[in-house]
């Protein structure tokens, strides 16, 4: 097997590993967009076991955790090791106007897709506008009904 050795690339990788003070969970790159009555989040998680993905919702906070472990046999001599292993974490504050009860998730081709529906209350709707004549008719009907209630009580 032929491998190209680039000393500068290798130096950059080693320096990055030593200077990386982030030992906690890594951030997962994502896209977020609205498609009609749903928000869709697509996060890159290549090489993740779908069984290791954990999605929680606490109030309006959506938390996604995933774990990547690189398998290695006994006595393995690494020629190149550039893929990071460890845990990944992403948190989103959903805010108001989403239906947290019907969130769904799917993992395919290294991409985790989370679909967040918009709640019925937050969907755009039309409000009927009445004319002034209708309001005065309703006001007279209201006055008559209150008069009837007063007469019944007497």
Q: Quick check: 42 and 31 in contact, CB under 8 A?
A: yes
Q: Quick check: 63 and 57 in contact, CB under 8 A?
A: yes
Q: In the predicted model, what is the mean pLDDT of residues 86-93?
A: 89
pLDDT in tens, 19-42: 555 555 677 889 999 998 899 999
11 or 2, which is more confident?
Answer: 11
Domains of the chain from N-terminus onward = 23-70+83-124 (2.60.40.790)
Q: Half-sphere exposure of 132 toward its Cβ, with a 13 Å CA cutoff?
A: 0
């Amino acid at each position: 097997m032929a491998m190209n050795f680039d000393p500068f690339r290798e130096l950059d990788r080693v320096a990055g590993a030593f200077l990386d003070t982030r030992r906690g969970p890594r951030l997962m790159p994502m896209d977020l967009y609205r498609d009609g009555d749903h928000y869709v989040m697509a996060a890159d998680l290549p090489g993740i076991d779908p069984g290791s993905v954990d999605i929680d919702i606490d109030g309006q906070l959506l938390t996604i955790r995933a774990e990547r472990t690189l398998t290695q046999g006994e006595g393995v001599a690494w020629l190149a090791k550039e893929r990071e292993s460890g845990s990944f974490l992403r948190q989103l504050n959903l805010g108001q106007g989403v239906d947290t009860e019907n969130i769904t998730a799917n993992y395919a081709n290294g991409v985790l897709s989370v679909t967040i529906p918009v709640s019925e209350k937050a969907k755009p709707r039309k409000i009927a506008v009445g004319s002034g004549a209708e309001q005065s008719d309703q006001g007279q009907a209201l006055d008559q009904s209150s008069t009837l209630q007063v007469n019944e009580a007497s």
